A and B are shown apart, each in its own frame.
Chain A
Amino acid sequence: MDQRLERILPRVQKPARYVGGEYNAVVKEKASVDTRVAFCFPDTYEIGMSNLGMRILYQIMNDMEGVWCERVFAPWGDMEAELRQHHIPLYGLESGDSVGDFDVVAFSIGYEMAYPAVLNMLDLSGIPLRAADRGDGLKPLVIAGGTAMYNAEPLADFIDLACIGEGEEELPELLTLYREAKREGWDKPRFLRAAARIQGIYVPSLYDVTYHDDGTVAAITPRDGAPERVRKRIVQDMDKAPFPVKSIVPSTEIVHDRVTLELFRGCIRGCRFCQAGYVYRPVRCRSEKLLAEYGAAACEDSGYQEMTLSSLSTSDYPQLLELCDDLEAYCDSHHVSLSLPSLRADNFSMGLTERLSKGRKAGLTFAPEAGTQRLRDAINKNLTEEDLMESLKRAFSNGWSAVKLYYMLGLPTETDEDIIGIAEMANHVIHCWREYASNKTRGVRITVSTSWFVPKPFTAFQWEPQITREEYERRVQLLREHMTARAVTYNWHDGDTSFLEAVLARGDRRLGRVLETAFRKGAHLDAWQEYFDLSRWYEAFDECGLDPAFYANRERKREEIFPWSVISCGVGDDYLWRERERSRETVTTPDCRTRCSGCGANKMVGGVCRV
């Protein structure tokens, strides 16, 4: 271990997250590898190690002979200060070598608020922030992937390329090309031109963007043979996609400290606000027997005694009952507790929850998202109050006494009636509890939480404005006034982050300057309330002559070219626009299993989705 590092560790919180050496961490002989990848997660160790995508790709890259992939996480503020003070560059956890010396620096970016951390990690590594300032040498190649990269434009100046879609096949292809380039001594421009020919690879520098006087995009023109449209990559057959059975077990506690079993990708539901629901299409399931095997093997290898099933909507997995039978048999005999998040409010799901809870009555969580049936229909959230009350009736009579309800404020077409509807729904929950609770002496705890809706690219609401801050605050106030029951706790999301998120989510590459300016002003780990400060961002917008409201609060026209128009997620704009129109008419769209509504994602799996 670096002696300088050893000296600062006694002074920082939770030093175990900065040293590596965990069980199953991959350490390779340096002489046996020609390509070193620093896999960077722009958030803390506890968050990053909880990310399944990170674990999958770590394994895939390290399964490549000649490639060594190491992990890098964002340091907490105290550690960052020590690193900077002692001039210790950011390092890979496995080898301790400086990130700046790696061949490939790869970021996994789940959401927009991580952008400042990306810049900060480059800076802490001593790597020039802007791709243009890094010269023509092949290394370090700075790449980024993850859901946020469906609109990579705000990072366009800083990354060499973005990987769009799922990385299982895309990343090895890219690394293979990199190794060829390294062997043959290509410079970076040549490599990037070649990489742009791989499906799913987006090289921002190969596209010229021009703007209209009103600030909207006039044209995006590819150069040097880069494709007109970059189509996302997916894994066709989930049974052939590697599952990280043998995965790192952190020596210190992380957020999701358990085995996570990914049942399927995609979602059949089509909630109109949900980016994940659109960009992860089409639905692809893993076989039930394979999942049961993975689950048991992962518990045995890790020693974890907790397992969770994960997917966008777990209860939509076709063989969920069989899978739970198989897993329960294993878990019961091995003292492993099994949990099922993202369940729907229906009888089937409640039955499963009861069965797996084994007497533990932790809180139940539901996400109605909107307070009235009209608005729920408009956003295509297929949940009726009746279903919810049926589930709660059952839960309360079986001894549950804590319920969390999640909503969004500012959804398109929302009226005051919809907002008051949230308070009314909470009151109905109390009445339901009074009527059916098996044990009233314990009381009931109902938590209502609202967030501020952020319109995202590749959703039916990508054309919609985010409501203004004043309006958001008015709606929060309105709901507070109507939330009178003492049994209800009302939490609302702080507006600052959601506003910036709305700006960055649909931002163009001109925001690169804003990002860099905000970073220079101290925006380093802005996904954390402790470090986030909106005033820095306002100053940065001012200095760059850009108006954040242009990005967040402007309604787009159908024909507008979006900054992300060059990317294709498989679901076409025509379909999304149709969904938007249906939303205005309060017409719901059936789920993919009931009827195909022709979103276009089926073309990615040969024409027919196996939902």
Chain B
Amino acid sequence: MSEFRLRFVKEGRAAWISHLDLLRTFQRVFIRSGMVIRHSQGFHPHPIMSFVLPLSVGQTSVCELLDFSTVEDLPCEGMAERLNPYLPEGVRVLSCAAPVHPVRDMRYLEAEVTLEYDNGVPAGAAGAVTALLLGDQVVVERRNKKKQMVDTDIRPMIESVAAREEEKALVLSVRVQGQNPGVNPALLAAAVGRHLPEMKPDFVRVRRTALLCEDGSPFC
């Protein structure tokens, strides 16, 4: 038996594959590649595999992590080459290693939140947006456990925000809490739309770039 943590990219068309569908896809990918994944015991065995931090539909990522274990002992080397021919377009394994950190040690995620403005970035947007997101509080509507929309302050979950202006876009490099509690970086854009209506972007893209431990070192 071997345990693995797969690092992969999810981008392009694959951004639209949901979390559950991606799980199903990986189950089939392992079968196609001839690898036997360890299954749970019991009446309805299911393959033991899990994503460290699920990604919202439509967001892209260069740092997705999938944990799984195989029945036989296998080397990490060559895993990417072995799996990549069987993946749908837009999913690509970068590397594979034995897990170093337990999932509970994952603390922060970094992402690029791109606010697109079709008529050009409004004057002063970089400063205003940064000030908003690093201000005293950042209230957004969020679904609670009872599935009601309630106002929540997400400021405590925002670690850092840096804005840079590109052509017709403001790119925010953000670091936010990943879990316990975590915040979806898309909510930062929602906060801009709510509190700076004149700077509401025409479209928002989110690209996850890193998962980190408490001390800021890469979670791996």
Given A253-B24, A303-B28, A304-B28 in contact, is the A23-B88 Cβ separation under 8 Å? yes
On chain A, the number of residues with a Cβ less than 8 Å from chain B's Cβ atoms is: 25
> What chain A residues lie within 8 Å of B12 (beta carbons)?
1, 21
Residue-wise, chain A 265-291 has the 8 Å CB interface mask toward B (1 for contact) of 000000000000000000000000000
> What chain B residues lie within 8 Å of A15 (beta carbons)?
16, 57-58
> Among A7, A18, A21, A300, which residue has its beta carbon within 8 angstroms of that of B32?
A300
On whether the beta carbons of A9 and B58 are closer than 8 Å, the reply is yes
Most chain A CB within 10 A, of B16, B29, B203, is at B16
CA distance A1 to B88 in the complex (A): 15
Residue-wise, chain B 35-62 has the 8 Å CB interface mask toward A (1 for contact) of 0000000000000000000000110000
Mark out the residues of chain A between 222 and 254 whose CB falls within 8 Å of any chain B CB in the assembled complex.
249, 251-253
> What chain A residues lie within 8 Å of B21 (beta carbons)?
16, 251-253
B14 close to chain A: CB less than 8 A: yes
A471 close to chain B: CB less than 8 A: no
> What chain B residues lie within 8 Å of A25 (beta carbons)?
89
On whether the beta carbons of A251 and B27 are closer than 8 Å, the reply is no
B25 close to chain A: CB less than 8 A: yes
> Among A6, A10, A21, which residue has its beta carbon within 8 angstroms of that of B14?
A21
Mark out the residues of chain A between 1 and 43 whose CB falls within 8 Å of any chain B CB in the assembled complex.
1, 6-7, 9-10, 15-16, 18-23, 25
A517 close to chain B: CB less than 8 A: no
B182 close to chain A: CB less than 8 A: no
Residue-wise, chain B 163-198 has the 8 Å CB interface mask toward A (1 for contact) of 000000000000000000000000000000000000
B152 close to chain A: CB less than 8 A: no
On whether the beta carbons of B58 and A20 are closer than 8 Å, the reply is no
On whether the beta carbons of B29 and A21 are closer than 8 Å, the reply is no
> Among A9, A251, A301, which residue has its beta carbon within 8 angstroms of that of B88?
A251
Residue-wise, chain B 71-112 has the 8 Å CB interface mask toward A (1 for contact) of 000000000000000111110000000000000000000000
A302 close to chain B: CB less than 8 A: yes
> Among B18, B58, B87, which residue has its beta carbon within 8 angstroms of that of A23?
B87
> What chain B residues lie within 8 Å of A301 (beta carbons)?
32
Nearest-neighbour CB distance to chain A for B207, whole angstroms, equals 13
CA distance A21 to B27 in the complex (A): 18
On whether the beta carbons of A16 and B17 are closer than 8 Å, the reply is yes
CA distance A303 to B26 in the complex (A): 9
Given A9-B58, A23-B86, A252-B18 in contact, is the A1-B13 Cβ separation under 8 Å? yes
On chain B, the number of residues with a Cβ less than 8 Å from chain A's Cβ atoms is: 24
On whether the beta carbons of A303 and B57 are closer than 8 Å, the reply is no
> What chain A residues lie within 8 Å of B58 (beta carbons)?
9-10, 15
> Among B18, B24, B31, B90, which residue has its beta carbon within 8 angstroms of that of A21?
B90
On whether the beta carbons of B203 and A21 are closer than 8 Å, the reply is no
> Among B17, B32, B86, which residue has its beta carbon within 8 angstroms of that of A251?
B17
> What chain B residues lie within 8 Å of A6 (beta carbons)?
203
Given A9-B58, A15-B57, A21-B90 in contact, is the A249-B18 Cβ separation under 8 Å? no
Most chain A CB within 10 A, of B13, B17, B30, B86, is at B13
Q: How many A-B residue pairs have CB under 8 A?
A: 66
Given A1-B12, A21-B88, A251-B14 in contact, is the A7-B28 Cβ separation under 8 Å? no
CA distance A299 to B14 in the complex (A): 23
A586 close to chain B: CB less than 8 A: no
Which residue on chain A has the smallest CB distance to residue B34? A300
On whether the beta carbons of B16 and A9 are closer than 8 Å, the reply is yes
Nearest-neighbour CB distance to chain A for B37, whole angstroms, equals 11
Given A16-B21, A23-B86, A253-B21 in contact, is the A303-B32 Cβ separation under 8 Å? yes
On whether the beta carbons of B16 and A303 are closer than 8 Å, the reply is no
On whether the beta carbons of B203 and A19 are closer than 8 Å, the reply is no
CA distance A302 to B25 in the complex (A): 10
CA distance A6 to B29 in the complex (A): 26
On whether the beta carbons of A16 and B16 are closer than 8 Å, the reply is yes
Which residue on chain B has the smallest CB distance to residue A334? B31
CA distance A318 to B86 in the complex (A): 36
On whether the beta carbons of A303 and B30 are closer than 8 Å, the reply is yes
CA distance A6 to B58 in the complex (A): 9
A305 close to chain B: CB less than 8 A: yes
Which residue on chain B has the smallest CB distance to residue A7? B203
> What chain A residues lie within 8 Å of B57 (beta carbons)?
10, 15-16
Nearest-neighbour CB distance to chain B for A259, whole angstroms, equals 11
Given A15-B58, A21-B12, A252-B17 in contact, is the A303-B31 Cβ separation under 8 Å? yes
> What chain B residues lie within 8 Å of A302 (beta carbons)?
28, 32
Nearest-neighbour CB distance to chain B for A49, whole angstroms, equals 13
> What chain B residues lie within 8 Å of A253 (beta carbons)?
21, 24
Given A1-B13, A253-B21 in contact, is the A21-B28 Cβ separation under 8 Å? no
CA distance A54 to B44 in the complex (A): 33
On whether the beta carbons of B30 and A21 are closer than 8 Å, the reply is no
> What chain A residues lie within 8 Å of B90 (beta carbons)?
21
Which residue on chain A has the smallest CB distance to residue B25? A251
> What chain A residues lie within 8 Å of B86 (beta carbons)?
23, 303
Mark out the residues of chain B between 1 and 28 whose CB falls within 8 Å of any chain A CB in the assembled complex.
12-14, 16-18, 21-22, 24-25, 27-28
Nearest-neighbour CB distance to chain A for B66, whole angstroms, equals 15
Nearest-neighbour CB distance to chain B for A600, whole angstroms, equals 45
Nearest-neighbour CB distance to chain A for B172, whole angstroms, equals 18
CA distance A302 to B88 in the complex (A): 12
> What chain A residues lie within 8 Å of B31 (beta carbons)?
299-300, 303, 305
CA distance A253 to B19 in the complex (A): 12
CA distance A301 to B89 in the complex (A): 16
Nearest-neighbour CB distance to chain B for A528, whole angstroms, equals 22
On whether the beta carbons of A249 and B28 are closer than 8 Å, the reply is yes
Which residue on chain B has the smallest CB distance to residue A22? B88
Nearest-neighbour CB distance to chain A for B70, whole angstroms, equals 15
> What chain B residues lie within 8 Å of A21 (beta carbons)?
12-14, 88-90
What 5 A-B pairs are tightest by C-beta distance, nearest first?
Answer: A303-B28, A21-B13, A21-B89, A303-B31, A19-B13
Hey, which bits of chain B sit against chain A, CB under 8 A?
12-14, 16-18, 21-22, 24-25, 27-32, 57-58, 86-90, 203
User: Contacts A23-B88, A303-B27, A304-B28 given; 13 further ones with Cβ under 8 A?
Assistant: A7-B203, A9-B58, A16-B18, A18-B16, A21-B13, A23-B28, A251-B14, A251-B17, A252-B17, A252-B21, A253-B21, A303-B31, A305-B27
10 contacts between A and B (CB under 8 A): A16-B17, A16-B57, A23-B25, A251-B14, A251-B21, A253-B24, A300-B31, A303-B27, A303-B28, A303-B30
Hey, which bits of chain A sit against chain B, CB under 8 A?
1, 6-7, 9-10, 15-16, 18-23, 25, 249, 251-253, 299-305
